[in-house]
Structure 1
């Protein structure tokens, strides 16, 4: 029995060490598995194995050794409050598991607590495993920074497309990459005198730390430099306090404490002058990274508008529902920005987002959890000043500093799965080391004892294992479906093979039938299949007609399934509406009414977006309801005053009604708000030409040709316009140029002949539509 327990514990330890070491670098070098998905899969698989082995070992041993830590107790409240919020707000796929990579779901809350608990439970009884974990982390870190340096030197190697672009790296987005570089640096300095940094490992940790600082200069994020500066200042302060406790006086020495001092000075300098330094870097390493998310004010405003009922005020709108609340209560000013059509699924940071999704109780639990980390880290750092180099205390203080550094970004940022897991793993390592150093106590439980206490403890242990295993399997299932869907999209984009892409979507839906994104993709592919069948098949052939009917029914069903699974997502309603709009175009009975109803529901779910109104206007045009279309377009521009597409369509409607005055004004607005779109300028020019406003027509058409020199229709109308203005020579030049773009067109040849004979290019001047 003892041998079996030892083997199971060994497997559990090595799984946690592998998780810590692989998190920085794990990815799959294929396009259809994103780095985020690969890391989420790694987390759930290794944690599931760890949990099963550890629980089995505890039953074989008959007892459990648990650190008496406020961190573990406060952390346990997180999945509990997420579960409560799910029950209060209504159980939904979005809140339970989402797409497998969001951290604001019940499933991922359970996984993050598992990472915290298992790292605390496993490493508290195995000091040597903590050393292996640190070394494993720095092996992974060395590979990560090495890959990034190689990527800068040889950007053409994209590792199967997984690491692409200037900001491509093996960890996550560019901001997350900078955050983990800061972690490597701070932890490396904290542990430079520890057992983990002995021998050759010292050189590895120093090399990684130095490379991390250099890459941080390239990345240059103000918040990361600020966090590094504060963490280094704290580390230096406590080292000086430890020196005073040991020798009786404080004396800063560049030889002893210089690393902290240099890093503080560098961080502060780059907080001020970082942008200037970045601008003078060689172009190959001058990285431009754009990241947008709601502000503090926007996040709080969404919360104040959405949490109006007592239940939602205390327990939130539901885990992972920030995106829906954003659509319902988005500030009107956002529609006037470049990100008006961006669906934000989180607020300014992960913890502020939880205020919206889990309410007052949820945010209080987060405050308690962060406070527990702060308290334990503070106690560990204070003990470090008195312990005179005791190993467990050194590890506890180092992990405490690292955990505080990471948890700051849970407040200020929205980390991905890998960085989120590291936050909880380091909180667990802090808990384990604090217990080993005697900063916190230990609790021993008997899981095979008699009486209700033993039974309750055994049930608790079993429940822990079941929850971790069930959530791991649930997330794995969703991730597998998402990966198959990604592969379907890539296959279609690369090969245009509708059948193969459809087969992959069917596999994705077999794995996880509640994947609304897969259902929406199936609708889009179904429409393509219908178009192909209509174009290639004989409508009188019974087999073709049967296939058309089957494809149509399946496509409609996918749309209906999407809204049945998540009727709160306006994207699902837009997809259904678009499907029925296509059917309305070929006069399918009831399609128009269904499309209108779906657009109205999309408006209900996202009232601040002009897109449903714009698409509803297009539906009314199909049904020959121009007045209704104009009403919807007017409503759309009320929401977004610079909505160029709405002005463009309105100008086309006015022109078709021969209302050239309104057509001119709306066409001018379309060109004004889409000043780099040649079609908008051509539209304005052709309408001005039809209204005999030849001066403005010429100016608009010249602008269109400046943007798109080979725009044949714009050149044709400009040639006609020059002729009307009496600029015959310019008109001839335009038509001669047009003749080189599209040689030997009869209409161009005739126009040139007429102009050279002193006549207008054509007897009646038709204007092309595009």
Structure 2
């Protein structure tokens, strides 16, 4: 390819366009603008600003992350992507209005993309929770806002890159960004250095792209584009070396990630490149025959390497083990995803349940067999792939619109490969069109067959825009000019639309700035509470968050903080009774209000109803009027939202236990076991009920069942040991307590009973060893001192210890406050752990369920 001639053509084209603008007849211009060519330069400046922000977006998207406690990568890339698109939109619309006209590609692809956006908008409005579907949380991927931003990225890609020079600039920035990502990963993986602090990259597989599989997909994309350029375009030695280095780098990244699906798809596209350069004379200098020189292409060696790592997966696995980069990702199977879609569409066949609602469809309609796996309580925000998931969330219209869009895209791919017979090799523009199509098709394959993160999803749209621009650059699609001057009726309409869109970009920027500030305050609240446990300061941060962005997650956190505050009021013995009662009432009312607001904002999320139930349940024992009824109603709502989750039944059983209705509690626990027969919590509670009723044998049987399904739960083994101790089965009790101590060496109460058993079995030295350990962690416990003295003097451990016997006491022998030796009480520590359980977002696991 003759670079100098091409650059001269580009310069001529730009000068011609500028001449057309400047030489417009003066009589057609407003009087005030006649003879003022500087205004044209202003227009050109704003257009350049739009291009600058879009270029910056392309470079920064792969490398950007924010030091947040909540989804640092997803949140960072979301705010960057949305912010970059809004800035690009603002300056592009402003420049178009200033110019008075705009040229856009005559493309059915743009129209079909607009149809997708309209369907998403209609589906969001009809979802029943418009806020969740329209915008959701900042890091949510499946919202209408993200689809709109991605579609705008496609549009701006087709507009901004309408010159070969700009397209080459796009790829150069993308390649440079990939170098940064690769360099970061090498430093992080081999040297354990975190260039970015705040511990947002805690694992060897942590990376700047997002998920470990997304990392593989991204470098598969970079590798494919590099390979296509090497095979289809004529470059100098310097550029070929640069592209070869990129290809090698990408291959090393894919080996380290070892994502099998990526190997297969990358291999298919590499084969396509090889076939094109081998059998299409238009893709190379005209040569006769298929000699060894023609056959031994770079793509052949790449294809051979891919086949090797695909067939010999153990080799790649050994490399992963050596690098400590083995990773397992779980997601619903294709059949499970389609089954969810069928059930979801029964009531919402046209527009589905709404964008960003697949997780709630999953909770309602997931296969019952999932409850027999360790992922029984996992929540999935998407199914097997993005496209089949959309069948559930956007209905028949959504899936048809997306398939229609992809069909048009593939048809446009045919345009990229159609050339005149006399062409013997690809020109620069033709190479860009083919490479852009291959790159975008590669990314769309993963959007359909996988559920990638925001980077891969947005790059699919951006690359499609670049592909459209490349087709326009070589004349494969025409351009349509739209007047925005206001001199004609259509022009006036388009001008008004442009002004509305300009205002919309400013409003959207304000909205997402507030969403980001809210997330930042929420993140700071989590970090602050983890470090200090300061309820007041944490509450202020959370209050700021809900003031800027009303999210159920933030209100749920405030509610949990309220529970901690209530516990502290109860535990504070220094407060006068009347003051404590007043504070308790005020805090209880506020805590309930926060939990109710969370449930109101997102009634489809069972976690919100469970939290509201927990608030009411926390005061059932205090005889608060109708608290038990309110708690049971909340848990019933949670069950409606997630009918295959046994947790609401367990919670309801707890309520009945507090109001002394053991029979009702048994029924709910049995219902939980009907859903999940090996549910440890249900078995544990049934054992407690039987023990309270005096049925020790039945209680022990239940606890043994619990221990079999929870072999690492030291609390279960402690209870099993205690029941056997009460039943005077010292051998079984000893085994259970030894298992407890083996799992948790600091469990003082387990050591206490184990020491008593050793004493009764005549193992004095072992008994002394247990109580000596307890004395170190509980130096102020007088009973432990007395027991040690007894043992050392040859007496029974409990000699002269006042009754009742330890197993019959209302409180454990060793106070948990004494045992921990921490400043915070167990109550506060437990509440803090609960806060993290309920307000930290769940990981997006994926598993193949049949």
TM-score range relative to shorter protein:
over 0.9
Select the residue among 635, 638, 662 that pairs with 1:599. 635
| Structure 1 counterpart of 2:337 | 299
SS in 1 for 2:481: strand
Deviates more, 1:58-67 or 1:584-593: 584-593
Deviates more, 1:79-88 or 1:515-524: 79-88
Deviates more, 1:668-677 or 1:524-533: 524-533
Alignment of 1:480-499 (within 5 A): 480-499=517-536
> 2:236, 2:486 → 1: CA distance?
43
Select the residue among 567, 572, 582 that pairs with 1:531. 567
Deviation at 1:517, TM superposition (A): 0.5
Structure 1 residues 345 and 33: CA distance shift in structure 2, 3 A:
closer
SS in 2 for 1:432: helix
Q: Would you say the 8 A contact 1:754–1:762 is kept in 2? A: no
Whether 1:216 aligns to 2:264 is no
1:611-630 CA-partner distances (Å, limit 9, x unpaired): 11111212222222222222
> 1:192, 1:274 → 2: CA distance?
28
> 1:112, 1:181 → 2: CA distance?
21
Deviation at 1:534, TM superposition (A): 3.8
| Structure 1 counterpart of 2:786 | 746
TM-score (normalizing by structure 1): 0.93
| Structure 2 counterpart of 1:56 | 94
| Structure 2 counterpart of 1:84 | 122
SS in 2 for 1:444: strand
1:702-750 CA-partner distances (Å, limit 9, x unpaired): 43344345544334434555677xx43xx32431221321245323544
How many residues are matched?
761
Structure 1 residues 45 and 200: CA distance shift in structure 2, 3 A:
farther
TM-score (normalizing by structure 2): 0.84
| Structure 2 counterpart of 1:365 | 401
Select the residue among 213, 216, 219 that pairs with 1:181. 219
Alignment of 1:692-731 (within 5 A): 692-709=728-745, 711-721=747-757, 727-728=761-762, 731=763
Whether 1:392 aligns to 2:429 is yes
Alignment of 1:457-476 (within 5 A): 457-462=494-499, 464-466=501-503, 469-476=506-513
1:555-601 CA-partner distances (Å, limit 9, x unpaired): 22211111121222111111111111112233322322211111111
> 1:723, 1:30 → 2: CA distance?
53
Deviation at 1:109, TM superposition (A): 1.2
Q: Would you say the 8 A contact 2:282–2:424 is kept in 1? A: no
| Structure 2 counterpart of 1:9 | 47
Name structure 1 gaps, 5 residues minimum. none
| Structure 2 counterpart of 1:132 | 169
Q: Would you say the 8 A contact 1:191–1:394 is kept in 2? A: yes
Deviation at 1:450, TM superposition (A): 4.1
Deviation at 1:221, TM superposition (A): 0.4
Superposition CA RMSD, Å: 2.8
Structure 1 residues 33 and 670: CA distance shift in structure 2, 3 A:
closer
Structure 1 residues 606 and 30: CA distance shift in structure 2, 3 A:
closer
Alignment of 1:6-45 (within 5 A): 6-29=44-67, 31=69, 34-45=72-83
Name structure 2 gaps, 5 residues minimum. 1-38, 776-783, 813-850
| Structure 1 counterpart of 2:438 | 401
1:680-701 CA-partner distances (Å, limit 9, x unpaired): 1222222123233444334433
| Structure 1 counterpart of 2:462 | 425
1:223-282 CA-partner distances (Å, limit 9, x unpaired): 111111111111122222333675264536568863211111111211122333332556
Alignment of 1:551-700 (within 5 A): 551-700=587-736
Structure 1 residues 712 and 259: CA distance shift in structure 2, 3 A:
same
SS in 1 for 2:479: strand
> 1:550, 1:387 → 2: CA distance?
82
Deviation at 1:654, TM superposition (A): 1.0
> 1:341, 1:143 → 2: CA distance?
37
SS in 2 for 1:66: strand
Select the residue among 101, 106, 120 that pairs with 2:158. 120
> 1:40, 1:720 → 2: CA distance?
59
